[in-house]
Copies of this chain bind each other. A is one copy, B any other.
């Protein structure tokens, strides 16, 4: 469905380009914009420009940052001997929410996926290697996603780093807390059995 008002149709098209947003939702969003006051609409447009111009990648860990360094890399109280390697900035936010981890991060911005033409050079592996040169880092925790691509990336990086004498660990697999055993898939369950611990 299209509107014959160019500015409206253009806005709908912009929203529709987002992944997971269909034509109806894009229309609803465009009409939401029209319903805003002038100030609100300007603030919205400004938020887009701001986010885009002010947010860069941290020089150390490649996480998103509004400065040279991200808040974690700036924080002097964090344990610089551990680096947790994740695929995406959202994963950093997820781990931070646990309040269980006090080390550093490294964001790969993707995972190795030959199907999508993403090789080791397309993600931030070089930057990770560069961080290990001063010998301060003792452990790398691989926290890539538990998918084929995430596994392959974790495996690739661990083989690369093994010769450097750094401890490399992987997030535990198992049944999610609060889930129903009945609905756990076979692979997760078999990993949970293998990784069982004494109580």
Contact = CB atoms under 8 A, between A and B. Distances in A.
A118 interface: no
- Total identical chains: 2
A33 B52 contact: yes
A171 interface: no
Interface string A5-20: 1111011011000111
Contacts of A19: 28, 32
Contacts of A89: 31
Nearest to A92: B3
Given A20-B25, A32-B19, A8 B51 contact: yes
Contacts of A196: none
Given A28-B20, A29-B18, A32-B19, A8 B64 contact: yes
Interface of A: 1, 3-8, 10-11, 13-14, 18-21, 25, 27-34, 36, 38, 41-55, 64-66, 71, 89-90, 93-94, 97
